[in-house]
């Protein structure tokens, strides 16, 4: 007996085509909004990095490297917002262009339309998960390593002969000469960071040495002149040897112990003992870090669905759905505030980790409820029509 393969009906083909069209619109706007938001965040970070690095004598290549290493963390923060914005924008445009009306004539319902949004938000959530669990920690660790190297390699910004240098606004350094063996001859260092007690160091010789806790400037045979600006009294202290923490001269400092944010999730899961030794944190802290990273990805999954569900309220119309747009934005703000509140409540209380997922669960339930409400309202309207 030969069984004939059932053919897909016309309605199924139309809805499948509509799903592909809907997803293509969502993905294109998602890329656009992500590019714009990442650019805004990146420019803001790049300006501060430029002031810190270039003014301390580092090259443009170092500035570019640091800027690129900050991108994964920026993109991770932007993706949930851009996915939500793309969903609300595309849905609103399709309402105004009557595309949803045409789709509704083929059996399109709010719950059925959420299938395309769910596929889109799943792709966005996977990208966010990759960033939060792998790319962002790797980039953060590399950034911390390079920061430590630059903090130790201060010769570009400090060891220059015959010039008054200003590593920071309230620090002035002058070096008369530097010998081939690295010995500094005749050093002057003015420290005005404390407005009540300004100090002027002078030394016949000095060496710049690197230690585990950061670079130190070892000064020999010198004076420390302390001016008390409150009483205008000057105190002079002679020293044979004095160590000055050079990292205090720069805004860039070494990272010290590795932080959990610098370690990929795979390492947190497979090598917890080594992570505990490196970060000086316990297993509960590691578990909390993993939960927080996961909730960031889930936000990208749920936020577009919540925005789409609210946009489907009120029926299909060619008129502007500004009320739905405003309601969607307010819902996203409430969702974010609830997530921050849950993080604050769980902070330091690892046993309360399920609370981290509560805002996402509630937002998902709200999205489902709104979709069902929109579908039932539309069925009632169609049933009441003559």
d(CA 50, CA 70): 13
- Are 206 and 197 in contact by the 8 Å Cβ rule? The answer is no
d(CA 375, CA 385): 16
The predicted model scores a pTM of 0.70
Other C-beta atoms within 10 Å of 24: how many? 13
d(CA 137, CA 131): 8
Residue 350, pLDDT above cutoff 50: yes
Per-residue model confidence (pLDDT) at position 79: 93
Intra-chain end-to-end CA distance of the chain, in Å: 48
Q: Worst-scoring range by mean pLDDT, 228-232, 311-315, 334-338? A: 311-315
Mean pLDDT, to the nearest integer, of 253-276? 78
- Are 216 and 246 in contact by the 8 Å Cβ rule? The answer is yes
Q: Worst-scoring range by mean pLDDT, 119-133, 211-225, 316-330? A: 316-330
Residue 85, pLDDT above cutoff 90: yes
**Model confidence at 223, in pLDDT bands (50, 70, 90)?**
very high
**Phi, psi of 237, deg, nearest 5:** -125, 125
């Amino acid at each position: 007996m030969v069984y004939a393969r059932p053919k897909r009906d016309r309605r199924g083909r139309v809805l499948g085509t509509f799903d592909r069209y809907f997803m293509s619109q969502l993905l294109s706007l998602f890329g656009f909004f992500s590019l714009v938001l990442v650019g805004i965040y990146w420019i803001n970070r790049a300006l501060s990095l430029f002031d810190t690095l270039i003014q301390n004598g580092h090259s443009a290549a170092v500035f570019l490297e640091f800027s690129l290493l900050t991108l994964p963390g920026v993109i991770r923060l932007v993706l949930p917002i851009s996915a939500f914005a793309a969903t609300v924008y595309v849905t609103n445009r399709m309402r105004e262009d009557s595309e949803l009306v045409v789709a509704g004539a083929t059996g399109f319902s709010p719950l059925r339309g959420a299938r395309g949004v769910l596929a889109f938000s799943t792709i966005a959530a996977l990208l966010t998960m990759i960033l939060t669990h792998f790319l962002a920690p790797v980039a953060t660790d590399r950034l911390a390593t390079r920061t430590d190297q630059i903090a130790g390699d201060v010769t570009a910004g400090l060891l220059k002969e015959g010039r008054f240098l200003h590593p920071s606004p309230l620090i002035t350094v002058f070096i008369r000469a530097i010998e081939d063996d690295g010995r500094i001859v005749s050093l002057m260092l003015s420290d005005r960071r404390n407005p009540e007690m300004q100090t002027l160091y002078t030394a016949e010789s000095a060496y710049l040495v690197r230690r585990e806790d950061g670079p130190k400037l070892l000064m020999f045979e010198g004076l420390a002149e302390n001016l008390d600006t409150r009483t205008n009294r000057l105190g002079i202290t002679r020293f044979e040897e004095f160590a000055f923490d050079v990292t205090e001269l720069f805004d860039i400092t070494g990272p010290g112990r590795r932080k959990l944010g610098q370690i990929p999730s795979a390492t947190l899961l497979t090598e917890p003992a080594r992570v505990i030794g490196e970060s000086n944190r316990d297993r509960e802290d590691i578990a909390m870090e993993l939960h927080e990273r996961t909730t960031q990805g889930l936000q990208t999954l749920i936020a577009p669905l919540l925005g789409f569900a609210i946009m489907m309220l009120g029926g299909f119309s060619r008129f502007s759905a500004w009320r739905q747009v405003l309601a969607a934005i307010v819902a996203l703000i409430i969702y974010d505030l609830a997530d921050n509140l849950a993080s604050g409540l769980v902070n330091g209380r690892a046993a309360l980790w399920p609370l981290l997922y509560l805002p996402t669960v509630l937002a998902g339930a709200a999205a489902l409820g709104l979709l069902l409400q929109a579908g039932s309202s539309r069925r009632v309207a169609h049933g009441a029509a003559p």
